[in-house]
Each structure stands twice: as structure tokens, then as C-alpha cells.
């Protein structure tokens, strides 16, 4: 590890009047910075120092925009923490710049491939997994019992299959299933069942009396033909309330019997060389700190540009974390229609939050603040850079399935598990997740590459973090270096040649459906 002896601060924009302290452990009062400024307070790592005298009500500029206004006079060299700032109001959703920025078209990136599983619908999986869909939470424990036996008794017979995963969730009954918004959890569940990593082998466990009936979850035509002999879509459902079942073991045996037919078909899948354009990458951050927007997220943004140049699909999400940068996003929309769709999704989310009598400022956590992020405006400016610089060509509502390549804004809550769940529904086959405070997040359905924003976290969590972007703050690597490292690691992980740490330890967070509709 490089030892940092010299005081190191990082500004993001020439007009910034604050900078963040990069040194591990922060800097003590009295430290003389390279520009001669003397620190008046001890400033923790990742926190802001005033570069000039800030008068009361003066804008505090980071990323070249006001992240807040000084509540009192703040002399140069002081620690600028969240209690010294008021937060700007959210940007109105009218009079936004619409498709005004035309990002320079980058040269295509050709010749990059990975080894993936090509599906009948043309999509490509990075893993070969049997997923068992459930219509309702009631069947979760029975399905889990069967899955444990499948893993022990069946999976060893099918060495080409990576895993068996029960798509457990809390939806399906006791819900206002016809309420506006109920379509979100329903289509999320439907589209997750069709994730490319599951090979089109849809298998459903149902209770029988639940509100979300199998044919509503997976209507005819929504899934691939399961039985070629019948040449029509026959949904494979094990219904626990079926009269045929006498005793618990009858249910478990039925699930195992059906699982075996799907495992047989999945087992003949073979990896083949496919272009990098078949990657469907969801980018996300969680447990963010002030370095997220300096190291890891800009590196992800650089990698996002590489992926777009390679013809791949990239989704960025987390509505409350990009809401404050809406003007940047609508300006980068490829067409007015894309910009309008973005505004529509943001307006829907504003209204959703308003129903709960909060706004996007409810997003920031105690950990964010401890990590130096004063408020959601500062957090958003650091989060939005994950989207890179390419034109935004698509917009998805929560739970919708992605149908195009390029850069898409997939509207989701910022909640790590809900965002990941919705990106899975969109068809994500690879997930990239940045963290500054540290989270052991992982998914059973898709590999998750985790990126540390600080070397100190990467050192302590050496067997949880896949990439250390803290090297950017240390000065030993550039944003471009780490972006390329990420791109190459993605191809290795997608090919199954490398496992992520979350896969190695089998760290599998729960699917969490986004249900904005009432429960009954
Ligand atoms: Ca998140």
C-alpha cells in the first residue's frame, strides 16, 4: 500500500470552492495544504474543506454546481459538514434542456468477445441457472425445502448447470392486485423469470388460491415454448393445493420431478463465443461516500462508455440519486422522446414520494454523511457519473424488459435490492456495484462485480471487493486504467472464467419487489 505522507485534496471542477480530503484517516487541524491553505479544523477523510472564505448564504460549489448554501460565515480551511449547509430545492421538471447535447460519437470498440449461453430468443446468459418462479410467498418455504434437496440429489448429475435458485418474494396475495402500480411487481416477477441466465426454462410453483394466478403472472405468449412436442406454450406449474397431492412429500417430489426435466435441458447448454455487445450491464452504487463520485463511479462511467462503444447494453438507475441532475440527463437524451420519457418517470417518482410526504432528500443515510456526503445533491452529482458520457437512447419504467442496446435510464428506486431486482427484470446478465462505506451485496441470479472507492476499504475487505478504484485517489492509477480493468474483468466474469467474491462466498441478497400499490 502506498503511504500517503503529503496532504492530498481533490476538487472536481475549476469553479469548486470546496475540495475533499483524500488521506486515510483525514488531516489534522494545522495541516498546510499544497496551495498554502492551513486547516482550521480536523477534516475526516472524504469530507470537504473550504478553499476560500464562504460568506453566509454563499453557494458551496462541488462538481461546479451548488450542493448547498452556507448557513453562516465559513472561513477558508474549515471543515464544511452537512450541518453548515442548507440544501437547494430540486430542479423543476419544466423548461429542461431537451436533447441539446450531442455527445461526440466514439469509435466503435470491435473484437471483444466473451463465452456466453445463447438463448432461443437471441439473448445471452452469463450463467446457467435453473430458476423456480413462485406466484406467492406462501409457497416459499416448500420451494426452498425442495431446492435444498435438488442441490444435493439432482444438481451433481447436471455438471453444466451452475445453480438452482428459488425466486422468492413477498408478493402474490393480500395485495390490491388491480390497483394502479400493481403491474410493476407483477411484470417484474414475470420478466425476472425470463432473465437470460435462466435459459427460458420457466417453471412455476403456485399455491392455488392466491390472487396472482400463474396465468396472470405468465400469460400465454409471454414465455418461450417449453414443450416442443405440443408446439405451444405450456406453462409448467406445480400447484400445492392440487387434489393429487397427499402429504408434504408429494409436493416436494412434484417440484423435484419437474425441476429435473428443466435441468436436463439446461445441462445441454454450451458456452459459445459471442460479441461483447451481448452484455447487459446494470450499474449501481450503495453505501456511498464522497469518494464514490471521485474514483469508482467515474471509472464505471468510463467503462460504460467502453461498453456502449462495444455495442452492449448498459442501464443506470436509482431515480432519487439522479433526480438532481435531470437537466444533464435530458440534455444528453438522443431524441426529445427519450427526454420526455425520462421526465415522465421522474415526475411519477416525485408524486410517489410526495404521497409519503417526503422528497428525494430522504435518500441519504447516516453512513453517506459520515463518508462526507452532505446531502442528496452532492450524492447525486457523484452518482450520475456512472452513466458516462454517451447519448442516452432508452428509458425503462420499473420492471420493464430491455429491448435495445446502448445506454438506457432504467427508472428504479435507489434501494440496492430493489434496484438490483428491477435490473434483473430488465434482463441484466452482469451487475457492477460501487461502494465506499462497504456492502457485501450479491445476487444469486447474476454475477455482481463490486468496486471499492477507497484503498482502505479494498485493503480491509480484500476478499469482498473485486476492484479497487481507490488507486485513482492514491494517484497510482487513472480513471481510464480502472475503467479498462473493469471492462476486461467483465468479459472474464461473463465467460465464467472468473468468479466474483460474492459468487465465491455465495452472498445472495433477497429479491425485493417494488410494489407502489396498496396491500390489503
Ligand atoms: Ca443503490
Model pLDDT, residue 24: 87
Question: In what helix (H) or strand (E) does residue 489 lie, and over which residues does it extend?
Answer: helix 479-494
pLDDT grade for 232, boundaries at 50, 70 and 90: low
Model pLDDT, residue 370: 92
Q: Could you tell me the sign of the dihedral formed by the alpha carbons of 249, 250, 255, 261, in that order?
A: positive
Are 206 and 328 in the same domain?
no
Distance CA 391, CA 362 (A): 29
Query: How many angstroms is it from 313 CA to the middle of ligand 1?
Result: 19
Query: How many angstroms is it from 483 CA to the middle of ligand 1?
Result: 20
Share of the chain above pLDDT 90, in %: 89
Query: How many angstroms is it from 317 CA to the middle of ligand 1?
Result: 8
Model pLDDT, residue 493: 98
pLDDT exceeds 70 at position 231: no
Model pLDDT, residue 228: 56
Model pLDDT, residue 233: 65
pLDDT grade for 104, boundaries at 50, 70 and 90: confident
Query: How many angstroms is it from 449 CA to the middle of ligand 1?
Result: 14
Phi/psi-derived region of residue 95, left when phi > 0, alpha when psi is between -120 and 50, beta in every other case: left
Share of the chain above pLDDT 70, in %: 97
Query: How many angstroms is it from 175 CA to the middle of ligand 1?
Result: 26
Specify the 3-state DSSP secondary structure of 501. helix
Residue range 499-509, pLDDT digits in tens: 999 999 999 99
Query: How many angstroms is it from 268 CA to the middle of ligand 1?
Result: 36
Query: How many angstroms is it from 383 CA to the middle of ligand 1?
Result: 9
Distance CA 233, CA 449 (A): 35
Check residue 236 and report its DSSP letter: E
Are 238 and 284 in the same domain?
no
Are 264 and 198 in the same domain?
yes
Distance CA 118, CA 276 (A): 13
Query: In the chain, helix, strand, coil percent, each to 5?
Result: 35, 20, 50
In a domain, 65, yes or no: yes
Say which range, 69-73, 231-235, 238-242, 404-408, has the weakest mean pLDDT.
231-235
CATH number at residue 58: 2.30.130.110
Are 241 and 299 in the same domain?
no
Task: List Cβ neighbours of 226 (8 Å cut-off, separation of 6 or more).
Answer: 201, 202, 233, 234, 235, 236
pLDDT exceeds 90 at position 436: yes
Are 238 and 354 in the same domain?
no
In a domain, 437, yes or no: yes
Distance CA 358, CA 356 (A): 6
Query: How many angstroms is it from 287 CA to the middle of ligand 1?
Result: 8
In a domain, 520, yes or no: no
Question: In what helix (H) or strand (E) does residue 376 lie, and over which residues does it extend?
Answer: helix 376-383
Model pLDDT, residue 230: 52
Q: Are 430 and 280 in contact (CB under 8 A)?
A: yes
Distance CA 88, CA 116 (A): 46
Residue range 201-217, pLDDT digits in tens: 999 999 999 999 999 99
Are 259 and 319 in the same domain?
no
Are 343 and 488 in the same domain?
yes
In a domain, 303, yes or no: yes
Q: Are 451 and 296 in contact (CB under 8 A)?
A: yes
Q: Are 325 and 292 in contact (CB under 8 A)?
A: no
Average pLDDT over residues 365-388: 93
Query: How many angstroms is it from 83 CA to the middle of ligand 1?
Result: 24
Q: Are 449 and 499 in contact (CB under 8 A)?
A: no
Task: List Cβ neighbours of 358 (8 Å cut-off, separation of 6 or more).
Answer: none
Q: Are 275 and 266 in contact (CB under 8 A)?
A: no
Are 244 and 288 in the same domain?
no
The residue out of 268, 298, 329 marking a domain boundary is 268
What residues make up the domain containing 326?
A: 280-505
In a domain, 191, yes or no: yes
Task: List Cβ neighbours of 355 (8 Å cut-off, separation of 6 or more).
Answer: none
Which one has a higher pLDDT value, 55 or 5? 55
Model pLDDT, residue 276: 98
In a domain, 123, yes or no: no
Are 373 and 418 in the same domain?
yes
pLDDT exceeds 50 at position 2: no
Query: How many angstroms is it from 233 CA to the middle of ligand 1?
Result: 36
Model pLDDT, residue 103: 84
Model pLDDT, residue 1: 40
Task: State pTM to two decimals.
Answer: 0.94
Query: How many angstroms is it from 275 CA to the middle of ligand 1?
Result: 29
Query: How many angstroms is it from 410 CA to the middle of ligand 1?
Result: 13
pLDDT exceeds 90 at position 31: yes
Are 237 and 343 in the same domain?
no
Q: What DSSP line would sit under 253-273, residue for residue?
A: HHHHHHHHHHHHHHHT---EE
Specify the 3-state DSSP secondary structure of 168. coil
Task: List Cβ neighbours of 62 (8 Å cut-off, separation of 6 or more).
Answer: 12, 13, 16, 18, 48, 378, 381
Model pLDDT, residue 90: 85
- Average pLDDT across the chain, whole number: 94
Query: How many angstroms is it from 501 CA to the middle of ligand 1?
Result: 19
Query: How many angstroms is it from 416 CA to the middle of ligand 1?
Result: 4
In a domain, 517, yes or no: no
Amino acid at each position: 500500500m502506498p503511504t500517503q505522507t503529503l496532504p492530498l485534496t481533490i476538487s472536481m471542477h475549476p469553479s469548486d470552492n470546496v475540495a475533499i480530503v483524500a488521506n486515510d484517516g483525514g488531516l489534522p487541524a494545522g495541516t498546510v495544504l499544497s496551495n498554502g491553505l492551513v486547516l482550521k479544523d480536523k477534516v475526516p477523510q472524504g469530507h470537504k474543506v473550504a478553499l476560500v472564505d464562504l460568506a453566509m448564504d454563499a453557494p458551496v460549489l462541488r462538481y461546479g454546481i451548488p450542493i448547498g448554501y452556507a448557513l453562516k460565515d465559513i472561513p477558508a480551511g474549515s471543515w464544511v459538514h452537512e450541518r453548515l449547509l442548507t440544501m437547494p430545492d430540486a430542479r423543476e421538471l419544466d423548461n429542461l434542456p431537451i436533447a441539446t447535447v450531442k455527445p461526440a460519437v466514439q469509435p466503435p470498440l470491435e473484437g471483444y468477445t466473451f463465452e456466453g449461453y445463447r438463448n432461443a430468443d437471441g439473448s445471452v446468459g452469463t450463467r446457467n441457472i435453473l430458476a423456480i418462479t413462485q406466484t406467492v410467498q406462501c409457497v416459499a418455504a416448500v420451494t426452498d425445502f425442495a431446492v435444498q434437496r435438488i442441490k444435493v440429489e439432482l444438481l451433481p448429475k447436471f455438471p453444466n448447470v451452475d445453480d438452482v435458485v428459488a425466486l422468492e418474494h413477498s408478493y402474490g396475495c393480500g395485495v390490491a392486485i388491480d390497483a394502479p402500480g400493481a403491474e410493476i411487481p407483477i411484470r417484474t416477477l414475470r420478466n425476472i423469470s425470463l432473465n437470460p441466465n435462466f435459459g427460458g426454462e420457466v417453471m412455476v410453483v403456485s399455491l392455488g388460491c392466491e390472487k396472482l394466478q400463474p396465468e396472470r403472472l405468465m400469460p400465454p405468449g409471454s414465455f418461450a415454448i417449453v414443450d416442443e412436442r405440443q408446439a405451444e406454450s405450456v406453462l409448467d406449474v406445480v400447484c400445492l393445493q392440487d387434489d393429487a397431492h397427499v402429504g408434504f412429500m408429494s409436493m416436494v417430489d412434484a417440484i423435484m420431478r419437474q425441476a429435473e426435466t428443466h435441468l436436463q435441458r439446461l445441462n445441454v447448454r454450451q458456452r459459445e463465443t459471442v460479441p461483447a455487445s451481448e452484455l447487459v450491464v446494470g450499474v449501481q452504487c450503495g453505501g456511498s461516500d464522497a469518494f464514490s463520485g471521485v474514483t469508482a463511479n467515474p471509472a464505471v462511467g468510463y467503462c460504460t462508455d467502453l461498453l456502449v462503444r462495444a455495442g452492449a447494453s448498459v442501464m443506470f438507475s436509482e431515480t432519487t440519486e439522479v433526480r438532481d441532475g435531470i437537466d444533464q440527463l435530458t440534455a444528453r437524451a438522443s431524441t426529445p422522446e427519450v427526454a420526455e420519457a425520462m421526465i415522465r418517470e421522474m415526475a411519477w417518482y416525485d408524486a410517489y414520494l410526495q404521497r409519503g410526504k417526503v422528497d428525494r432528500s430522504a435518500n441519504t443515510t447516516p453512513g453517506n454523511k459520515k463518508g462526507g456526503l452532505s446531502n442528496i445533491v452532492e450524492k447525486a452529482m457523484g452518482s450520475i457519473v456512472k452513466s458516462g458520457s454517451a447519448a442516452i437512447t432508452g428509458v425503462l419504467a420499473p420492471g420493464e424488459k430491455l429491448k435495445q442496446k446502448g445506454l438506457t435510464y432504467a427508472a428504479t428506486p435507489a434501494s440496492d435490492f430493489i434496484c438490483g431486482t428491477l435490473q434483473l427484470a430488465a434482463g441484466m446478465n452482469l451487475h457492477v456495484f460501487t461502494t465506499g462505506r462497504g456492502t457485501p451485496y450479491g445476487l444469486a441470479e447474476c454475477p455482481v462485480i463490486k468496486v471499492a472507492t477507497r484503498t482502505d476499504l479494498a485493503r480491509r475487505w480484500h476478499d469482498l471487493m473485486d476492484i479497487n478504484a481507490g488507486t485513482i485517489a492514491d494517484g497510482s492509477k487513472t480513471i481510464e486504467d480502472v475503467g479498462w480493468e473493469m471492462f476486461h474483468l467483465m468479459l472474464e466474469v461473463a465467460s465464467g472464467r472468473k468468479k466474483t467474491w460474492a459468487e465465491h462466498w455465495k452472498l445472495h441478497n433477497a429479491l425485493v419487489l417494488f410494489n407502489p400499490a396498496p396491500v390489503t
